[in-house]
Structure 1
Amino acid sequence: MLDAVVTNKVGGGGSLAYTYVSQKTGDAHHIAIAQAGLNTNHITGRSPLHYSDLTPLAFVGSEPVALAVRADSPYRTLKDFVEQMRKDPASLSISVGSTRGAINHFTIARLAKAAGMDPRQLKILVFGGGAESVTNLLGGHIDAMVQAVNNAIPHHKAGKMRILGLSTAKRSPGIPDAPTFREQGFDAVMEGWTIFVGPRGMSPAQVAYWESTFQKTVNHDLWKQYLEANSWEWGYRNSHETLAYLKKDYEQSKALLTELGLAK
């Protein structure tokens, strides 16, 4: 086990944390957890920081995104929900958490595209974060939320929410009764990826050290237990593979954000 000091740099969809680490050139003692905002913040102009300003170290897994409604919603299935979206997209208020043009927004946009719709017609709402989306959905103030699945799981299991679909290619072992979009006929697969990054200027030996550390971590029983408890998807990519993954994700994100009218 490594001794580590956790420093919270909250804000800007992760931009404050990424900027902090980017300023530690060559210092392998400073790394950050990065998610989709690393790319989308740059594409939308919320941050000048590009993924090339950092050193990708490892991809360590992905979190499914869930489309959920209240248990008493008239939309019993994803098909019901999509039919209403097609009929009158503005009639459904859908929360995507705190940020437009991020992974949750991408997920519902891809679902709309898979259903033959223009995603710009959707009524998208943002709040302070996932917790506020949950509160507004349970309170009956919105029709649906599209959030990281861990926001919906406890309420789904308690019978207060119903997960209509997951963004993964296959069902999650943690919630086997929640179907995927794909199995219901909508090819809308999205990965809520998590990677680790370091500053630019890291030596090959420093990168190799962190690759080895994270490869051991993702194969540890405690990590696998964490993934199962939170319905994450296991995965590992080394530094070179993670860089290639980031490049592809950036291109795909830019295309979708341009279509949504959010790219700068």
Structure 2
Amino acid sequence: MAIAAASSTAAAAAAAAAPAAAPAARVECIVPSKPGGAMDLTCKLAQKGLQALPGAPGELGRDMRISYAPGGIGAVAWHSLVSRRRAEPNTLVVFSGGSLLNLAQGKFGKAKSDDVRWVAALGADYGMIAVRSDSAYKTLGDLVAALKKHPEKVLIGVSGTIGSQDWLKIALVMRTAGVDPKVLRFVALEGGGEAFTAMDADYVQVVSGDASEATLNAANGKTRVLAVLSEQRLPGVLANAPTAREQGVDVVWPIIRGVWMGPQVADADYRRWVQLFDRMLATPQFAQTRAAYGLYPFALTGDALADYVRKAVDNYGKRASEFGLVR
């Protein structure tokens, strides 16, 4: 499923229009994983973007409380909002392509994409495969060769269990490279932050994760990215990391990141949030912040985002069915 750099037409219109009234603080942004990963980064990106938004009270971002609800790679947070906190007007929950993949596989029970209100996509990310900087694996080809010869000797850290987004990314890469995913050894972890911590401790030797997480971890000199799952090399910190395609493995895995709200949030409150994010996404300050956080342009809000999510869930379901993962 390809993601093109998108921009909401509503964003440009809203930027030129009179500012919408900002939702009253206090705002909570829920991260459906442990601290330190790309989900956490998404809340912090929203927080910083709102702080800098012209015409909106700075307290909106400064007073945003970031809380953590790990479990089931989004399932705990989803069911908390949908069952007990359905109408909270100032509670946002982070989602990613992995959340949509879980929906497609039925990992949130009988939940459907239309069960919540999709507010805004803040940017795009890409999958990647990384090892420690002192690893014997210098290229993706080195890793593939090792997994073909002795798959039992390599532990791969993924966020979630079999069928999760991180699992499916490396399963696709290895299958395309001629390695049967069934022989791989995975360690299920709760979020990208925990996966990189496990690799630093040599509890796992490989991490299948996201480029934004690798951007955060590459600065410490302890991480080597073997491949990014993008169409072309990424700018910035990962500019020297080759794509999988460059190394003969034709797998691209884009990821969107954004926020949603409970299903019974009043229309007026929901629309105010959509308009607020429209304005934020249209500012050059936000574009700079998004780039600093290792994300790439992708902006959709409101009804346009909800329509995108429906199609994405359908596409993810088809990809997952290739591995017999759809319930």
Whether the TM-score (by the shorter chain) exceeds 0.5 is yes
Distance in 2 (CA, whole Å) between partners of 1:96 and 1:61 is: 22
Task: Tell whether 2:306 aligns with 1:243.
Answer: yes
Contact 1:22–1:198 under 8 Å retained in 2 = no
Aligned counterpart, 2:127: 65
Counterpart pick for 1:39 among 90, 100, 104? 100
Counterpart pick for 1:231 among 286, 294, 297? 294
Q: CA deviation at 1:76?
A: 0.9
Aligned counterpart, 1:142: 204
Contact 1:38–1:50 under 8 Å retained in 2 = no
Counterpart pick for 1:216 among 274, 279, 284? 279
Q: Which runs of 5+ in 2 are unaligned?
A: 1-21, 30-66
Aligned counterpart, 2:28: 6
Aligned counterpart, 2:136: 74
Identity of matched residues, %: 24
Q: How many residues align?
A: 264
Structure 1 stretch 166-175 or stretch 27-36: which is displaced more?
Answer: 27-36
Task: Tell whether 2:152 aligns with 1:94.
Answer: no
TM-score, reference length from structure 1: 0.83
1:17-28 matches, within 5 Å, as 17-23=77-83, 28=89
Counterpart pick for 2:255 among 183, 192, 198? 192
Q: CA deviation at 1:32?
A: 2.5
SS at match of 1:152: helix
- Partner letter of residue 214 of structure 2? A
SS at match of 2:224: strand
Alpha-carbon distance change, 259 to 92 in structure 1, aligned in 2, over 3 angstroms: farther
TM-score, reference length from structure 2: 0.69
SS at match of 2:209: strand
Q: CA deviation at 1:128?
A: 4.1
User: RMSD between aligned alpha carbons?
Assistant: 2.9
Q: CA deviation at 1:30?
A: 4.0
Q: CA deviation at 1:112?
A: 1.9
SS at match of 1:168: coil
Contact 1:59–1:238 under 8 Å retained in 2 = yes
Aligned counterpart, 1:260: 323
Aligned counterpart, 1:56: 118
Q: CA deviation at 1:26?
A: 6.2
- Partner letter of residue 263 of structure 1? V
Contact 2:28–2:92 under 8 Å retained in 1 = no
Distance in 2 (CA, whole Å) between partners of 1:27 and 1:132 is: 30
Structure 1 stretch 61-70 or stretch 124-133: which is displaced more?
Answer: 124-133
- 1:179-223 CA-partner distances (Å, limit 9, x unpaired): 222333322222232122233356766554333221221233442
Distance in 2 (CA, whole Å) between partners of 1:18 and 1:141 is: 30
Distance in 1 (CA, whole Å) between partners of 2:314 and 2:301 is: 20
Task: Tell whether 2:174 aligns with 1:152.
Answer: no
Aligned counterpart, 2:8: none
Q: CA deviation at 1:44?
A: 4.3
Alpha-carbon distance change, 131 to 238 in structure 1, aligned in 2, over 3 angstroms: closer
Alpha-carbon distance change, 213 to 187 in structure 1, aligned in 2, over 3 angstroms: farther
Distance in 2 (CA, whole Å) between partners of 1:202 and 1:137 is: 40
Alpha-carbon distance change, 235 to 70 in structure 1, aligned in 2, over 3 angstroms: same
- 1:21-77 CA-partner distances (Å, limit 9, x unpaired): 335556654442222343344424343322121122222212233211122222111
Q: Which runs of 5+ in 1 are unaligned?
A: none
Contact 2:129–2:228 under 8 Å retained in 1 = yes
